[in-house]
């Protein structure tokens, strides 16, 4: 197959910025890093022709580029090693996309895994992730989930008093102390960033800043708990660096406070939140820039307070996997509303990507079989679900498309599969992992049998056949 570098893609992908192999920050690109166009004018990813992939595996199809995912993992891992003089660990926030293959890739790059449910814990363990690299988050873990986490020996990020008390009871029956971290609400007053202010006043997550002394003193008195560190997460899809810089100072203040309350902790987890480029107008900082700001902030804040450097943990999700995946759909019906809009409908929608209908998120699309064709039509890309709001892109330019054409939505790696549903009893799609011209199934397409697997029909409802 003949391919050209991603940077030379024309028309449909003219919005691709220049990138160099030495320093790509995947979150700054609309396409996976291996995207190219072959001699048939088809989009290729990981050396695989996207149109061929759809023929082979059907659609909708999540296409995950291994090289892009691994590049982002290494950028995070190596970035912390480069900018932080102390110990560091990057843990992948697997809520962005939790499945066996993705957990295995992240773990093979030396990352830990952030999990938020018994199901995510189970998946990570089945993928072979070492339990000392598992961090269990969540604001309402059940007693069963906590018990599983204790047995599995992962770190539990304690969110509230109820959980703390449940854990003290569980720890009464364990041989070794249970390893925990405490999630605290940062309460950063930062008037230019609404999400932080909202998080401070309204957040359902973490201990309230007013309660720090009480929490620290209580935890310090629990022989059954080994409190390793403190955690905060300020939000997601963030493009500014200031909030995280502010966070480092607030968190170093917590370290000081904890030590004074008799709870000397040794780890600081600053959460995730770095944004990615979904459309041309998005301009997120690079992974390296984000890391540099955080590392310098922590070092400075600890020096000022004469504190030893903690082990520094970050837990990115979206910026690790978001740009590594695209979703390929097949075009079906089209509806022209004269003088208003043309709807091009695809064979998926809010069941495989609920983000547009949930957050009014914006996406970019390309026609995979005619990458250099002129963009002659302005259309809406509609999903197939029975909701008027099931529109993947409200307005985009495309070449003329026909039923059967392959349309690709970019940047669907994060919070797409993980938030997918069976709405309208639509089976969830397959996902393939592509690399060096090979595609491996990592998620099998659901079948109709899968859809009724958990259904039960009481005898009295059985419809007698004549
Ligand atoms: N750590 C914690 C405690 C989190 O709650 C999250 C995301 C992360 C890390 C990872 O954040 P990221 O690096 O991915 O921004 N469904 C929404 C996003 C929800 C984010 C939830 N928490 C979306 O589709 O935009």
What the block records as the tokens of 249 is: 């100072």
Exposed (0-12), middle (13-18) or buried (19+): which is 52, by Cβ within 10 Å? middle
DSSP string, 424-457: GGPPPPEEEEEETTEEEEEEPPP-HHHHHTT---
Residue nearest to atom 1 of ligand 1 (CA): 271
Q: Determine contact, residues 328/408, Cβ cutoff 8 Å.
A: yes
CA torsion sign for 132, 135, 140, 145 is negative
Tell me how far apart the alpha carbons of residues 155 and 214 are, in angstroms, rounded to a whole number: 22
13 pLDDT above the threshold of 50: no
| Ligand 1 atom nearest to 361, measured from its CA | 25
Ligand 1 atom having least distance to the Cα of 275: 15
Q: What is the DSSP letter of 275?
A: -
- Name the residue at shortest CA distance from atom 22 of ligand 1: 236
pLDDT band of residue 200 (cuts 50, 70, 90) is low
Q: Are 1 and 39 in contact (CB under 8 A)?
A: yes
pLDDT value of position 252: 97
- The count of other CB atoms within 10 Å of the CB of residue 22 is 5
Atom of ligand 1 nearest to the CA of 273: 15
Instruction: Note the CATH architecture for domain 137-315.
Output: Alpha-Beta Barrel (3.20)
Active-site positions?
386
- Give residue 199 CA to ligand 1 midpoint distance, Å: 13
- 320 in Cβ contact with 287 (< 8 Å): no
* C-alpha 113 – ligand 1 centre gap (Å): 13
Placement of tokens 């690709």 in the chain: 408
Pick from 319, 324, 325, 277: nearest CA to 430:
325
Radius of gyration of the chain (CA): 24
pLDDT score for 187: 80
Task: Tell whether ligand 1 has an atom less than 6 A from the beta carbon of residue 355.
Answer: yes
Using pLDDT thresholds of 50, 70 and 90, give the confidence band for residue 160. Answer: very high
Task: Give the per-residue pLDDT at 286.
Answer: 96
205 CA to centre of ligand 1 in angstroms: 12
Residue 64, beta-bridge partner list: 325, 433
- Range with the lowest mean pLDDT among 160-174, 198-212, 242-256, 280-294? 198-212
* Residue 198 pLDDT: 37
Calpha distance 300→309 (Å, rounded): 10
What is the 339 CA–ligand 1 centroid distance (Å)? 40
The topology (CATH level 3) of 3-65+326-452 is Lyase, Ornithine Decarboxylase; Chain A, domain 1 (2.40.37)
Mutate-to-test residue for ligand 1 from 69, 93, 239, highest number of ligand atoms within 8 A of CB: 93
State which of 182, 236, 247 you would mutate to test the pocket of ligand 1, scoring each by most atoms of that ligand within 8 A of its C-beta: 236
Average pLDDT, the chain: 92
DSSP-based three-state secondary structure for 460: helix
pLDDT above 60: residue 41 = yes
Cβ atoms 413, 97 nearer than 8 A: yes
Q: Is cis: bond before 60, omega within 30 of 0? A: yes
Distance from the alpha carbon of residue 315 to the mean position of ligand 1, in angstroms: 9
Is 315 close to ligand 1, i.e. is its CB under 6 Å away? yes
Which residues are registered as beta bridge partners of 48? 45
136: helix, strand or coil: strand
pTM: 0.94
Which residue's CA is the closest to the ligand 1 atom numbered 21? 236
Dihedral sign computed on CA atoms, order 386, 389, 393, 395 = positive
Q: Is the pLDDT of residue 22 over 70?
A: no
Domain ranges for the chain, please list them: 3-65+326-452, 137-315
Where helices occur in 142-207 by DSSP H, the ranges are 143-152, 161-171, 194-202
User: Average pLDDT in the 335-349 region?
Assistant: 97
């Amino acid at each position: 197959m003949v391919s050209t570098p991603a940077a030379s893609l024309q028309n449909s992908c003219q919005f691709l910025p220049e990138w160099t192999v030495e320093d790509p920050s995947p979150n700054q690109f609309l396409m996976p890093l291996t995207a190219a166009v072959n001699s048939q004018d088809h989009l290729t990813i990981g050396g695989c022709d996207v149109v061929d992939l759809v023929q082979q595996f059907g659609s909708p199809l999540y296409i995950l580029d291994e090289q892009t995912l691994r590049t982002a993992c290494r950028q995070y891992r190596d970035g912390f090693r480069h900018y932080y003089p102390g110990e560091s660990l990057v843990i992948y926030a697997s809520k962005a996309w939790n499945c066996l293959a993705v957990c295995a890739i992240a773990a093979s790059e030396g990352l830990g895994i952030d999990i938020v449910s018994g199901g995510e814990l189970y998946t990570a363990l089945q993928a072979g992730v070492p339990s000392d690299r598992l961090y269990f988050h969540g604001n309402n873990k059940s007693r069963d989930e906590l018990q599983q986490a204790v047995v599995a020996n992962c770190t539990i990020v304690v969110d509230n008093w109820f959980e703390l008390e449940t854990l003290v009871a569980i720890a009464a029956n364990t041989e070794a102390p249970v390893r925990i971290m405490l999630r605290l609400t940062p309460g950063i007053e930062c008037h230019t960033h609404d999400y932080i202010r909202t998080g401070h006043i309204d957040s359902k997550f973490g201990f309230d800043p007013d309660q720090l002394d009480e929490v620290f003193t209580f935890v310090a008195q629990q022989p059954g708990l080994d409190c390793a560190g403190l955690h905060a997460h300020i939000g997601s899809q963030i493009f500014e660096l200031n909030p995280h810089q502010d966070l480092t100072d607030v968190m170093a203040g917590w370290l000081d406070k904890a030590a004074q309350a008799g709870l000397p902790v040794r780890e600081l987890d600053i959460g995730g939140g770095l944004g990615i480029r979904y459309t041309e107008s998005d301009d997120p900082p690079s992974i390296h820039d984000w890391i540099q700001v955080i590392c310098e902030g922590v070092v400075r804040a600890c020096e000022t307070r004469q504190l030893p450097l903690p082990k520094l943990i970050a837990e990115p999700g979206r910026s690790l996997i978001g740009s590594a995946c695209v979703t390929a759909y097949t075009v079906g019906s089209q509806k022209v509303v004269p003088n208003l809009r043309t709807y091009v409908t695809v064979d998926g929608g809010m069941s495989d990507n609920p983000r547009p209908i949930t957050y009014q998120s914006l996406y970019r699309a390309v026609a995979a079989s005619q990458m250099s064709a002129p963009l002659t039509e302005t259309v809406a890309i509609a999903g197939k679900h029975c909701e008027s709001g099931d529109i993947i892109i409200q307005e985009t330019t495309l070449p003329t498309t026909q039923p059967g054409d392959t349309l690709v939505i970019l940047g669907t790696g994060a919070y797409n599969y993980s938030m997918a549903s069976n709405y309208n009893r639509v089976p969830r799609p397959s996902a393939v992992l592509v690399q060096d011209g090979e595609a491996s199934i990592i998620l099998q397409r659901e079948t109709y049998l899968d859809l009724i697997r958990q259904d039960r029909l009481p005898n009295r409802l059985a419809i007698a056949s004549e």
